């Protein structure tokens, strides 16, 4: 309020002097002394229109001013002191109320930030009591809640991260392991594995492929299949790879190629496209499996299933397939088909005498000869054993079939040179035509079979057509077979006895027991009409035992008339192939008949039978004291060593040699030789079928021991035989 001014000391007249103010016309303030008393003077000029008109001077004692000032200052101090007393706590209060939550907040923040990841428990442990219930506290609390939530989320994320990391680590190690496994598999795979680029070049080859190809890995990598391993099918392989690249689809095929040893290999190739992320085929993986052995194995299996191992001809299975195919063909073409059933005659004897190895050679050679006798389009098959079939297809003329059949017979009639052995064989052939005879293939086969048997029965070494008569005969056979089953229980059999005369003495002390069937409708049937059926059905064993029992009963009686009387009984091979139902030796003992009263007639072939059981059964008879005779001698194969081994007592010369003794000097020589040989071996000879005195003379002059034939007597019933011979003997 006090403007700076010049202190003027003077008297009151000094008052309002112009020099009081240097700035005339403007208010001036200064300090003056009046009467020694100091005053503060404020001069306020008064102006009018002419200028300065006067001035008003305001005086105030400077003492009072000063006092006032001091008072003011004191007041001010008072006020300041009071202010300090009141304001400081206030400020402190406000400051602390402001600072506390911030401090608490910052403390909490410090706590929160001291670790990177506080657990939920750690968060819970943070002292929240420090927070007040004011806005900042609320703020801090909500912040903390938010922080809690964030922390929980962070923890959750951390946990997730950790589990993800664990998963990634696990997956990675699993992938590594799998990759290792895959590598091991690929490296050790027996399959060839390779990878190709779109230009056909190979970028990978596994060890299996490398091992198979010439030049190893270097020769394979970067090369196309044509370049390595090359070969005629490489181009085809490349073509397939190109197709997989363009189609994006798998491809499989079989490829033949040559491995580094020059071996032809057949691989089953599987081509698989490999894609990039954009779906383009970038490479093609080729996996090749060597199926050469499997194919060969399958081929062998197929051959074994369809071909005969010995002759390499189609077997029964293949034959039926071909027959069906050919039948369909001729059905369409309207032509004919001929089925020929070829059976080798007496092949079993070749096997028995010369052994199975030679028998096999003969079959192979026979198969070759039959195959050569037919056209290339015809089928020759082996059904088993010595049985062959020929399918002559597309025949315009059925007469061709008979020419081919005769051709086969002629070819087989040529001598067989088997090693050092020279052997002869013949064949019987049955012919049947499709569809002429039948249009059923099963029936066609049966017809040919019947025709073949007809050829055999008519003397073998010939062919026979299937005829209606044959079919009727076959039907009769079937009916007879059924009738035969009840013949024994129906007492329909009769045993007749044919005397055998000792030439030297003229005595009749032997007879042969021969079977007859008194059929209720067909009358008397000779053995030739049913023995074969009985053998096929196995009934022969029971029938044979019955004949034996009949003969034993007769011998027991007749021996009382002729003490050395002997009855010979025919025993067919079928009876010796199986264990006997009745023990003949035991039966003889039970009946009290001397075994020498019985002789057993067997065929030559049986002696050669290699089966030990058959040999043993024969030996049992022999050892029991039953005499053995070889029936129909000269019609089959004989072995002198076997004749000696079984200590044969009689040889019965077959009637086919006896028949022509008067006309055929060859047969005379044969009989002579047989008799001489037999006598050397201490064997007696019986000549069968002696019908004439001339035959008798020849035989007698050659030293034959016994004769049997119509010349002397036909077979007689037991009663007739008894009446004719026993009564006479008793006289
Ligand atoms: P086999 O053992 O050779 O018997 C001789 C056959 O010749 C008998 O024929 C007999 O009747 C006949 N025969 C005898 N003398 C003459 C003759 O002068 N001229 C002619 N043409 N034939 C004569 P059969 O009785 O028809 O017997 C035929 C075959 O049947 C027998 O031949 C024999 O192998 C077999 N057989 C006969 N009975 C039985 C039997 O009980 N069991 C077995 N397994 N086979 C038997
Ligand atoms: Mg006989
Ligand atoms: Mg005989």
Looking at ligand 1, which residue's alpha carbon is closest to its atom 27? Answer: 527
Q: Which atom of ligand 1 is nearest to the CA of 534?
A: 44
Helix (H, G, I), strand (E, B) or coil at 563: coil
Does the pLDDT at position 18 exceed 50?
Answer: no
Over residues 628-650, the pLDDT tens digits come to 999 999 887 777 778 888 899 99
Looking at ligand 1, which residue's alpha carbon is closest to its atom 17? Answer: 689
User: Which of residues 84 and 454 earns the better pLDDT score?
Assistant: 454
Does the pLDDT at position 240 exceed 50?
Answer: yes
**CB of 709 closer than 6 angstroms to any ligand 1 atom:** yes
Average pLDDT of the residues of the chain? 87
Residue with tokens 């081509």: 271
- Residues 644, 569: one domain? yes
The total number of structural domains in the chain stands at 4
Give Rg (Cα) of the chain: 68
> How confident is the model at residue 59, as a pLDDT?
74
> How confident is the model at residue 12, as a pLDDT?
45
The answer to whether the CB of 675 falls within 8 A of the CB of 703 is: yes
**CB of 535 closer than 6 angstroms to any ligand 1 atom:** no
DSSP for 358-373 reads HHHHHHHHHHHHHHHH
Q: Which ligand is nearest to the CA of 572?
A: 1
> Kind and range of the H or E element at 669?
helix 665-680
In a domain, 708, yes or no: yes
- Residues 279, 325: one domain? no
- Residues 265, 291: one domain? yes
In a domain, 126, yes or no: yes
Looking at ligand 1, which residue's alpha carbon is closest to its atom 29? Answer: 527
- Residues 454, 498: one domain? no
Q: Which of 154, 178, 213 is the last residue of a domain?
A: 154
- Residues 118, 32: one domain? yes
**Which of 496, 570, 598, 653 gets mutated to test ligand 1 (max ligand atoms within 8 A of its CB)?**
570
- Residues 144, 207: one domain? no
Q: pLDDT confidence of 8, banded at 50, 70, 90? A: very low
Distance 722 CA to ligand 3 centre (A): 23
Looking at ligand 1, which residue's alpha carbon is closest to its atom 30? Answer: 527
Looking at ligand 1, which residue's alpha carbon is closest to its atom 16? Answer: 689
The answer to whether the CB of 333 falls within 8 A of the CB of 394 is: yes
**CATH number of the domain where residue 203 is located:** 3.30.450.20
Q: Which atom of ligand 1 is nearest to the CA of 601?
A: 2
Q: Which ligand is nearest to the CA of 709?
A: 1
The answer to whether the CB of 709 falls within 8 A of the CB of 687 is: yes
In a domain, 308, yes or no: no
Q: Which of 111, 138, 154 is the last residue of a domain?
A: 154
Distance 493 CA to ligand 1 centre (A): 15
> How confident is the model at residue 243, as a pLDDT?
96
Distance 631 CA to ligand 2 centre (A): 5
In a domain, 678, yes or no: yes
- Residues 8, 117: one domain? yes
**Which of 652, 686, 688 gets mutated to test ligand 1 (max ligand atoms within 8 A of its CB)?**
688
In a domain, 336, yes or no: yes
Torsion sign over Cα 121, 122, 124, 125: positive
Q: State both tokens at 615.
A: 């040999």
pTM check: above 0.85: no
Over residues 648-661, the pLDDT tens digits come to 999 999 999 999 99
- Residues 502, 557: one domain? yes
Rounded to an integer, the average pLDDT of 383-402 is 92
The answer to whether the CB of 222 falls within 8 A of the CB of 201 is: yes
In a domain, 82, yes or no: yes
- Residues 127, 57: one domain? yes
User: Which of residues 237 and 88 earns the better pLDDT score?
Assistant: 237
In a domain, 306, yes or no: no
Q: Which atom of ligand 1 is nearest to the CA of 652?
A: 3
Parallel, antiparallel, or unpaired for β 426-434 and 336-345? antiparallel
- Residues 700, 567: one domain? yes
Q: Which domain holds residue 719?
A: 480-730
Q: pLDDT confidence of 101, banded at 50, 70, 90? A: low
Which ranges of 559-664 does DSSP label H, i.e. alpha helix? 573-577, 584-591, 604-608, 612-624, 640-645, 655-659
Q: Which atom of ligand 1 is nearest to the CA of 690?
A: 18
Q: Which of 262, 296, 330 is the last residue of a domain?
A: 296
Lowest mean pLDDT among 150-154, 212-216, 412-416: 150-154
Distance 512 CA to ligand 1 centre (A): 9
- Residues 144, 288: one domain? no
Distance 632 CA to ligand 3 centre (A): 4
The answer to whether the peptide bond before residue 441 is cis (omega within 30 degrees of 0) is no
Q: pLDDT confidence of 14, banded at 50, 70, 90? A: very low
Distance 630 CA to ligand 2 centre (A): 8
Lowest mean pLDDT among 90-99, 364-373, 440-449, 694-703: 90-99
In a domain, 607, yes or no: yes
**CB of 656 closer than 6 angstroms to any ligand 1 atom:** no
- Residues 348, 461: one domain? yes
Looking at ligand 1, which residue's alpha carbon is closest to its atom 42? Answer: 570
> How confident is the model at residue 477, as a pLDDT?
84
Q: pLDDT confidence of 15, banded at 50, 70, 90? A: very low
């Amino acid at each position: 309020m006090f403007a700076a001014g010049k202190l003027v000391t003077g008297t009151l007249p000094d008052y309002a002097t112009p020099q009081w103010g240097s700035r005339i016309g403007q208010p001036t303030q200064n300090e003056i002394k009046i009467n020694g008393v100091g005053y503060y003077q404020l001069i306020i000029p008064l102006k009018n229109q002419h200028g300065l008109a006067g001035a008003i001077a305001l005086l105030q004692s400077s003492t009072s001013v000063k006092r006032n000032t001091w008072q003011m200052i004191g007041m001010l101090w008072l006020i300041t002191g009071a202010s300090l007393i009141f304001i400081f706590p206030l400020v402190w209060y406000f400051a602390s109320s402001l600072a506390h939550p911030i401090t608490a907040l910052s403390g909490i923040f410090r706590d929160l930030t001291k670790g990177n990841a506080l657990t939920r428990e750690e968060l819970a442990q943070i002292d929240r009591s420090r927070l007040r219930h004011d806005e900042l506290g609320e703020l801090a609390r909500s912040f903390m809640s938010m922080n809690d939530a964030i922390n929980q989320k962070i923890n959750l994320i951390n946990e997730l991260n950790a589990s993800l990391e664990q998963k990634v680590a696990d997956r990675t190690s699993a992938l590594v392991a799998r990759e290792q496994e895959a590598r091991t598999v690929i490296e050790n795979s027996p399959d060839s594995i390779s990878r190709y680029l779109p230009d056909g070049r190979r970028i990978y080859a596994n060890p299996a492929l490398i091992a198979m190809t010439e030049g190893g890995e270097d020769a394979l990598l970067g090369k196309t299949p044509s370049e390595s391993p090359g070969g005629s099918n490489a181009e085809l392989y490349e073509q397939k790879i190109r197709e997989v690249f363009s189609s994006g689809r798998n491809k499989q095929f079989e490829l033949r190629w040559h491995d580094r040893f020059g071996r032809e290999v057949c691989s089953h190739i599987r081509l698989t496209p490999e894609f990039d992320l954009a779906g383009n085929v970038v490479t093609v993986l080729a996996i090749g499996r060597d199926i050469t052995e499997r194919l060969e194995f399958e081929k062998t299996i197929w051959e074994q299933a369809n071909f005969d191992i010995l002759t390499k001809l189609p077997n029964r299975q293949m034959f039926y397939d071909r027959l069906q195919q050919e039948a369909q063909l001729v059905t369409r073409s309207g032509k004919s088909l001929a089925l020929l059933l070829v059976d080798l005659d007496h092949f079993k004897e070749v096997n028995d005498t010369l052994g199975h190895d030679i028998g096999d050679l003969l079959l192979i050679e026979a198969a070759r000869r039959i195959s050569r006798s037919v056209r290339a389009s015809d089928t020759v098959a082996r059904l088993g054993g010595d049985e062959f079939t020929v399918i002559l297809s597309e025949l315009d003329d059925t007469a061709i079939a008979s020419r081919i059949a005769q051709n086969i017979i002629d070819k087989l009639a040529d001598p067989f040179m088997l090693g050092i052995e020279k052997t002869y064989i013949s064949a019987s052939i049955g012919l049947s035509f499709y569809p002429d005879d039948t249009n059923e293939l099963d029936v066609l086969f049966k017809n040919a079979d019947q025709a073949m048997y007809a050829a055999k029965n008519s003397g073998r070494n010939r062919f026979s057509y299937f005829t209606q008569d044959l079919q009727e005969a076959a039907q009769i056979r079937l009916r007879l077979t059924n009738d035969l089953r009840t013949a024994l229980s129906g007492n329909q059999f009769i045993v007749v006895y044919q005397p055998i005369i000792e030439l030297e003495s003229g005595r009749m002390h032997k007879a042969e027991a021969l079977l007859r069937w008194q059929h209720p409708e067909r009358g008397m049937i000779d053995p030739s009409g049913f023995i074969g059926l009985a053998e096929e059905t196995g009934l022969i064993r029971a029938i044979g035992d019955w004949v034996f029992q009949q003969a034993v009963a007769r011998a027991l009686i007749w021996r009382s008339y002729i003490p050395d009387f002997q009855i010979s009984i025919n025993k067919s091979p079928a009876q010796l192939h199986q264990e006997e139902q009745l023990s003949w030796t035991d039966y003889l003992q039970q009946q009290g008949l001397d075994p020498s009263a019985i002789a057993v007639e067997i065929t030559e072939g049986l002696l050669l039978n290699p089966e030990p059981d058959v040999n043993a059964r024969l030996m049992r008879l022999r050892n029991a004291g039953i005499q053995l005779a070889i029936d129909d001698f000269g019609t089959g194969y004989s072995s002198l060593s076997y004749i000696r081994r079984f200590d044969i007592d009689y040889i019965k010369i077959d009637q086919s040699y006896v028949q022509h003794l008067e006309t055929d000097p060859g047969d005379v020589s044969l009989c002579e030789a047989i008799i001489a040989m037999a006598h050397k071996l201490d064997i007696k000879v019986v000549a069968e079928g002696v019908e004439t005195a001339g035959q008798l003379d020849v035989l007698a002059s050659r030293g034959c021991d016994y004769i049997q034939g119509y010349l002397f007597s036909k077979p007689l019933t037991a009663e007739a035989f008894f009446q004719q011979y026993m009564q006479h003997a008793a006289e």
